[in-house]
Each structure stands twice: as C-alpha cells, then as structure tokens.
Chains A and B, each alone.
Chain A
Amino acid sequence: MREGLYPVLIECLQVMTVLIGAPLFAGWIKALKCWSQGRSSAGLLQPFRDLSRLFIKETVLAENASWIFTATPYIVFGSAVVAGAIIPVLSVDLPLSAMADIIALVAIFAIARFFLALAGMDTGTAFGGMGSSREMMIGSLTEPAVLMSVFTVSLVSSSTSLSHMAHVLTSHTIELRPSLAFALMSFVMIALAETGRIPVDNPSTHLELTMIHEAMVLEYSGRHLALIEWANMMKLFLFAALGIACFFPWGIAGANEIWMLPAAVLLLVLKLALIGVFIVFIETMFAKMRIFRVPEFLGMSFLLATLGMISFFILES
C-alpha cells in the first residue's frame, strides 16, 4: 500500500465515478432499449432527473412501518458505496481494495438483500412478503454458482483479492482458457439474476404478481425511494465492473501508472457501452421466465462454473 496522497485521490475518484457513472449507465441502457424498439428516448440524463425529483418529493411512511423500514434505504445505499470502493474500476492501485476480497464483496451485497427483504415484510402487506420470499430464494440459489465461478477464476490467478486478480490477468499473455470462458458465461447468468434483469425479473413491469425486486420496495417514496433506486443502479454498474475486473481487465491502470488514467476512463466507457448493448440484446431476445424455471437457469450457471473448474484440472494443468 503506497503512502501519500495518490491512493486517497484514486479512491475518491473511483467512488465519484461509481456514484455518477451508475445513473449514466442506466440511462444508456434505457435509451438503447428505446432505440431498439423504434421509440425516441428521454435522454441519457433522465435517471438524474428522476433521482432529483424523488429527493424533493415528500416521504410517506406506512402506519406500522418500523425503524427497520426507515433505516434500510441508508444501509442499502451505504453497502453499495462500500462495494464501489472495493472493486477496481479505474486503477488496480486501490488502497481499500484489500479491505475485502471477492467473498466478502458477495457478503456485502448480501447485507443489502437481507435488509431489503426485511423491509418488504415490515409493512404487513401481501406483496412485500411475496417479493421478499422470491428474492431470498433467488439469492440462495446464486450463492453456490457465485462461489464456483469465483473459485474457477481464483484457480487461474491463485488469489481471491480483486486487484490481484486483475493484475495477474493483465500481466500474462493472452491465452485461450476454456475454464475462464465457462466462468464468464456463468458469471453473466448470475449477474442477470442478482441485478434483477430479464430473464429473471423484469425491472419495468407494472404487474405486481410478476415483481420480485419491485415488490419489496413498493411502499417506499421520496428520498428513501431515491436512495434505493440509486443503489440499484450502482449494483448494476458494479456487477458490470466486477465482470470487467475479473475477465477483461486490460485497460485498468496498473500500480503507479498515473498516466494510464485517462486511457483507463476511455476504455471503461467503451466497455460499459458494449455491455449495455449486450444487456439490451438479451432483454429484447428473451422473455421473463416463470419463477420456478429460475432454479433451472441458476442450476445451469452452476453447471457452467463447475465445468470451468473441471476444465481447469483436466485440460490446463
């Protein structure tokens, strides 16, 4: 860990990037989706306008909502920011990246999910409990797949620390590794499930019985809802950044490479744009699955990750 001002600057720059880049990324995806359906979009900056509008609005709480309901938006937002401080987005030289490795990162996202599920049950409505139950079911099925994926990637770089993984991949020559390819496919499926995109959950649905994530936050309003929406956008951004750091880290500035930073920002924008195209492609091609087909979907991702691990031992060592 280097002494001096540079690491602190990098850390602040990264958190700012995550905070501001997340709504931009969400806006880009929505705009792409509109264009692909032949509609005109509301612009890339629409999420910012949505958030500022929500912050100004009045906050209304249900009569029997308790302190857990009011505390959850802050906890969810806080954990998203902490996660944002850990994943190397711009530079590998991130002092707080050693604070938590990838297993701890998954657990930090789990804190947010735990409290959201509790908040869903807090108001005593029927839809909140339904959302919590479904969300926890999906969360419990993604965990084995995430672990297998992480394990496969850590076999290649013999570490579970994120900045070390990114560093190892950039410094080696490009090799064709089927294990990483399988782990990538599995990770994509997990990311779709965790961030609540099609084919697991439709983020723009209006039918309550089809909601998973939305059903838990049905009773939120005003600044609470703004914080939760922002945290949701950050989660999508961070999963994309996590995929980039684990599988396509070329372009992230190495240790002590200040001059690489502008190039790193440019490459990040390019990669995220491509990921946005990919997400919209999936949303347009596939429909949302029935809820009890989701275990098969996640089982498939677990299978892919296990195949990746097996390929490592059989074919690469």
Chain B
Amino acid sequence: MQSPLDLTIASVLLFLSIALLAPILSFRQKYLVTISFVASALASLLAAAAGFLCVANGSTGSMTLPIGLPDLPFYISLDPLSGFFILLVALLGFIVSIYSIEYVQAFTARRSVTPLVVFYCLFMAGMLLVLISADAYFFMVSWELMAVSSFFLVCFEDDHPSNRRAAYIYLLMAHIGAIFILISFGLMAGFAKGFEDFSGFSFQAIRSSQFPHGWASIAFLLAFFGFAAKAGIFPLHAWLPEAHPAAPSNVSALMSGAMLKTAVYGMLRVSFDLLEITDWWWGGVVLVFGLLSAIMGVIYALMQNDLKRLLAYSSVENVGIIFVCIGLAMIFTSFQMGLLASLALIAGLYHSLNHAMFKGLLFMGAGAIIHSTHQRNMEHMGGLIHKLKWTAPLFLVGCLSIAGLPPFNGFVSEWLTFQSFLLSPALPSGLLNLLIPLGAALLALTAALAARCFVKVYGVSFLGQWRSNQQVQVHEVAWPMRLGMLLAASACLGLGVFPTYVLGWMDIIPEGLIGTKISLSAAESGWLWLTPVAADRASYSAPLVFFGLFAIILSVYVIFRSRTTPVRRAPAWDCGFGYVTSRMQYSSTSFSMPTRRLYGFLFNIKESVKSGVNPYFPMFNNRFLYHLKIRDRVWHILYKPFSDAAFWLARRASRLQHGKIQLYLLYSFITLIALLVFS
C-alpha cells in the first residue's frame, strides 16, 4: 500500500503527462477527448484515494524535491488538512472528468479542444500542487500555475469579446491577490529567519518562530486580503460573475467547486497553522466579511436572469458562509475554547465539501441545459422538465441541497453552523455575546433567500411552459453527462444522510489544528444521532428523518392511490380567465420583484415602463416596453476609482517616454555615473 503522499505525487505526474502528450493526438479530436478525460478521471481517483486515506489514518508525510532555488528546494508535505482538500478537489475532478467526456465533444465542431484539454490537466495539477506545497516559493509557483491555466480556460471561447474581457479581469484580480499573499509570506519569512536567508520561506521555519505582535496582525491581514480576492469575498468578488459564466461549464464547476476552496485552504493554513491566533478581532474581521459576502452574494444572485451568473453569485454567498464558520472558529480559538472552535471549524470544512458537490452538480446541470437548448437566459426557458427527463430530477437534488433542506447535505452544514452560533453565549466578552446572534440572524436570512433563489431557478427554467418564441429541439444529454450528475447527486444525498460517519472521519483535522476532537461527543449516542455537544442540548438524526419522510410519503401514496379513479388531464383552470399563453407566466424578473422592492437600495436600479397607445382607441394601451437595468454599486464605488487612479499614474509615468533617442542615452549615462559614484 503506497503512502498517500506517493499517490498524490503520482496523480500530479499523471496530470502533467496528459497535458504534455495531448497535442500528439490533436488531429483526432474525438479520441483525444475520450482518452484524455478518462485518464484524468483515473488521476483524480488516485488523488481522491490519497486524500481519503490521509484523513482516515491521520498520516503525514514530507519530501524534498531536488529542484528549486539554491537555498530553498521545493518542500512537499501532506497532513490531514491538505488531505481533506485533496479529496475535495479530486472527487470533484473525477466527477467533472466523467462529465467532460461528452460535454467537450460538443465543442469539437467549432474549434480545436486541445488547449482545453491541456490547460484542464495543468489546472488540476496546479490545484493539487498548491495543496501539498510546504514552502512559500513552491506555493506561489503552484498558485501561479493554477491561475494562469484557469485564465486560458476562461478565455477558451475567445471569439466573444465579453469572454476576453472577463478573462482579463480575472487575471488582474488573481494577480493582485497573489501579490498580497507574496508580501505576507515575505513578512512571515523575514521574521522567521531574517531577511537575508531564503530558508525562512519554508512553512516549517515559519511555524516554529515567534512573531512580534503587530507584525503578525499585518501579515494576517495581508494574507486575508489576498486569499479573499481569490475566494471571491465581497467586495473583491467582481471577477467571479464575469469569469465563471465565460468558461465552459465543466471548467466553471471546477473553478467554483474546487479553486475557491484552495483559497479557503490557504486561509486555514496561514491562520491556524503558521500564525498563532491571539486576537479575537482577527476572527471578527473574517466573520464580518464572510457575512457581507453571504448576504450580498445571495441578493445579487436573486436579481440575475443569466443562469451561470446566478450560480456564480451563489458561490460568492457560499464562500461567505464558509468564511463565517472559519471566523467563528478563530474567535473561539482566541478565547481558548477548544470544543466550540472545533465545532465551528468542522462546520466550515463540511460546508466546503458540500458546496463542491452541489455547486458542481448545479454547474453540470446548467451545462446540460445550455448544451440542449443553446440558451443561457432563464427568461427564455421553461417546461424543460418534460424533455430533460434525467437532468430535471438531478438538478432538483442540487437545488434542494443548496437551499439547505433535509435530508440533503446542505442542511447538515447549516445546522452545525447554527449550533456553533447558538453556543456563543459561552464567550466571556459581553459585547460579542450580543453581536454574534445578530450575525446568526443575518445568516438565517441568507439561507432563506438562497431557498427563494433556487425556487426561482428551478421554477423558471424547468417548470411552466416554454417562454421563448423560438422553437428549439430539446433532447436529453448523453450518458457520461448523466453519470457525472448522478454521482454528484448521490454524494449530496450520502453526505446528508450519514453525517456521523463523515464527522468521525474528519475529526482528526481540528485535533491537529486546535487540539480538540468533537466526535467523542458527536457520536456518543450511536451512529444514528448527531449530537455535537450533548444529547440533551441538540440532536439531529439524518437517517431517521430521511427514512421517516420516505416511509410516510410512500405509505400515504399507497393508501390514497389505491383508489382506481384515474386522473384526468384538462387545460389549466387559472380561475376561468380564458386563454392562457406562455407569456402570461411569471418570469425570472417578475419572481424577483419583491426582492427589488425590499433590497433595491443596495443597487443602482433603473426601471422604466413605456406604453404605446392604440391609435383608434386612445384609452387602451396595446404595447408595453419595460426596461430594467441593474448595476452593482461596487464597480462604481470601489473598482472605478482604483482603475482611474492607476491609469492617471500610468499617464504621468508615460511622460518619461518621449521617443527621442538622445534622452534615452542620457538616462543610461546618468545611471552609469550614479552607480560609479555611489557604489
């Protein structure tokens, strides 16, 4: 039995080799797609096994590669925290690779998919390398690999100018974040071993050194800013809703499900492992920004009509929830309350895994819808439940999971989060005791708004009648796509119905980071009952709820169906108002109207209605023109001033460029004299 570290390295090497060998097969696109995605599914499976074993056994391992800088070779290490995220990334990668076998075929008609295949494998390799790197330099190299390969994936369909612009914004934000992370690592390394010595960059050196108090806070804030930019925390989220829709759906699934979690991993690694959490306001900052992202993300999502943009904003919301859990864990840690901190941390990690599964499922479903209907705008869809007989129930599972309804997985992580919030009165600080429950109420609002959002998504795209004037032949997608979605849906159900097993498996992670396990109390009443702190405090039995619901629904169905009166079909009644057309249904814009009324002050909304009058009967209107424009205020308030300032500085600096050769020679001459004088 190989060690998990060896398995992971083997998987990375396999990905890199697929990327290298893919151009050889590029003349036969069909075989290229099938072979490379089957191989990448295999590689993901290897890594997933490695991650699972690592967490189950609590094993650690490390290695030093012979490449790298003179004083600083590349260090690799594996511990349960990395193992968990490796499982997450690789499991999603496995499912998406199976899905891609059929999905990518559709692109071969219009362009060569070799770049897609190559950069896909490089992307997966980059993510896995980020998770196992153990020194700052290798971390940044893998981070760059991940960012650049995903850039090429986002602008894969570069014939649309909007895709190019989205990719540009994405690369810009990724690099801004990377610079902040680099400065933070530099600070930490500098205090570890001094600014002259490169070996301070290794994580082991940083871990074992003490930091002066103020500098640790600055390093934390810089790292938080950098990782938040990558994770899509408000207000640095603007690249997410541009980049994720521009990419092909399988790539969006990976970016949303896996790449955002590498930022979460980075955050956890820096705050819990490398720095010691001493101040409660660190956790407070993370909590506040997480809450802001959660609430703003879901409200933005409610306003969208484009399916993939909506899912991207929903990712902003879920990453916000994960950061809320992490912030709470940090607050509890700073007050030395180990059990509560472990509970909050496990809630955050569980939510990361759940999000990867259900967001992957939703993006894959969106890809299936777009593949069959060639529409991205929900206003033009409807009635798909009759045509897409497999996608519809699987997409419903995704919607139920993300809305946080039992017995699926979204509910378990939400329940654990609320339990850790409800335990906050144990904190010694009176002010925090009052403010944290307000945060819990905001989180409850977010969860309810997310349920509303996904009723809208499912109701407008799948139910009702077809809303567009164009008639499109819609047919169900092929078996690899269905299999991928089915695997993700089963993972959602499994994670929801057996939380005690998952908690028992995961529990070694907080033990390593904080020092306390919760599974002793969590499973003390047996595998059926999830009792995080004590049995009479709160308990939830997912298998019983699932079984109970299923049994009762089935028995009611059998009892009442036993009458043999057949069901008759007739036109919809609609209170007898007569002829009902598909344009009379509620569309996506109308469903979100109450949201615009209540929360519209957060946006720049311009709504106008113009009506045309019937010339013969002036009192009757015969035409209505409704115009709605919604803009994100963050662009105007935050991004535009910064980009304007940057351009202004650049224009000032460009005065140095005159085009005259003599001036350039003068510059070199002055520099030479200065060096000779001041050397």
Contacts and interface: CB of A to CB of B under 8 A. Distances in A.
Interface of A: 55, 58-68, 70, 74-75, 77-79, 81-82, 85, 96, 98-101, 103-104, 107-108, 110-111, 114, 117-118, 120-130, 132-134, 136-137, 139-148, 151, 154-155, 158-161, 164, 208, 218-219, 222-223, 227, 291-292, 295, 302, 306, 309-310, 313
A124 to B, nearest CB: 4
Contacts of B590: 129, 133
Contacts of B556: 74, 77-78, 81, 227
Given A161-B538, A306-B441, 6 more contacts: A96-B548, A121-B586, A124-B580, A137-B594, A158-B537, A219-B573
Contacts of A134: 594
B contact face: mostly helix, strand, loop, or mixed: helix
B285 interface: no
B440 A139 contact: no
B459 A129 contact: yes
Contacts of A118: 455, 458-459, 463
A302 B441 contact: yes
Contacts of B456: 136
Interface string B550-585: 001100110010010101111111110000101011
B422 interface: yes
A133 B594 contact: yes
A171 B605 CA distance: 55
Given A143-B447, A144-B444, A125 B572 contact: yes
20 contacts: A64-B465, A67-B385, A74-B557, A78-B552, A79-B549, A82-B552, A98-B529, A100-B545, A101-B540, A107-B411, A129-B586, A139-B451, A140-B451, A144-B448, A151-B440, A161-B537, A219-B572, A223-B560, A227-B560, A291-B594
Contacts of B618: none
B386 interface: yes
A60 B568 CA distance: 5
Chain B residues touching A, range: 35 or more
Contacts of B544: 96, 99
B595 A137 contact: yes
B586 A78 contact: no
B383 interface: yes
B465 A58 contact: no
A44 to B, nearest CB: 25
Interface in B499-550: 529, 535-541, 544-545, 548-549
Contact of B405 (A110, A121, A126): A110
B433 interface: yes
Contacts of A65: 572
B494 interface: no
A100 B411 CA distance: 12
Given A110-B451, A125-B572, A85 B548 contact: yes
B549 A78 contact: yes
A64 B449 contact: no
A105 to B, nearest CB: 10
Nearest to A57: B565
Nearest to B592: A133
B415 interface: yes
List the 10 closest pairs (A to B, CB-CB), nearest first: A129-B586, A121-B459, A143-B448, A140-B448, A62-B572, A124-B464, A78-B553, A144-B441, A147-B444, A136-B452
B284 interface: no
B390 interface: no
B176 interface: no
Given A139-B448, A219-B573, A117 B459 contact: yes
A208 B575 contact: yes
A61 B440 contact: no
Contact of A133 (B396, B464, B560, B593): B593
A306 B529 CA distance: 31
Contacts of B460: 121
Contacts of B434: 309-310, 313
Contact of B591 (A129, A143, A219, A309): A129
Contacts of A104: 406, 411, 415, 540, 545
A78 to B, nearest CB: 4
Contact of B437 (A70, A128, A129, A151): A151
B464 A100 contact: no
B445 A140 contact: yes
Nearest to B536: A164
B588 to A, nearest CB: 10
Contacts of A120: 459
Contacts of A123: 464, 572, 574
Nearest to B563: A223
A195 B648 CA distance: 59
Contacts of B591: 129, 132-133
A101 B539 contact: yes
B590 to A, nearest CB: 7
Nearest to A77: B556
Interface in B448-485: 448-449, 451-452, 455-456, 458-460, 463-465
A82 B459 contact: no
B199 to A, nearest CB: 50
B659 interface: no
Contacts of B545: 82, 99-100, 104, 108
B418 interface: yes
A287 B582 CA distance: 35
Contacts of A313: 430, 433-434
Nearest to B400: A114
B404 interface: yes
Nearest to B382: A124
A58 B552 contact: no
B51 to A, nearest CB: 30
A218 B573 contact: yes
Contacts of A146: 444
Given A96-B544, A100-B540, A66 B463 contact: yes
Contacts of A227: 556, 560
A58 B575 contact: no
B18 to A, nearest CB: 41
B637 interface: no
Contacts of B404: 107, 110
A186 to B, nearest CB: 12
Contact of B386 (A64, A141, A148, A292): A64
A132 B433 CA distance: 37
**Which of A55, A124, A128, A306 has the most CB atoms of chain B within a 10 A radius of its CB?**
A124
B452 A137 contact: yes
A124 B455 contact: no
A125 B553 contact: no
Given A98-B529, A98-B535, A158-B537, A127 B575 contact: yes
B22 interface: no
B557 A124 contact: no
A117 B385 CA distance: 16
Contact of A140 (B396, B452, B585): B452
A219 B580 CA distance: 14
A122 B570 CA distance: 14
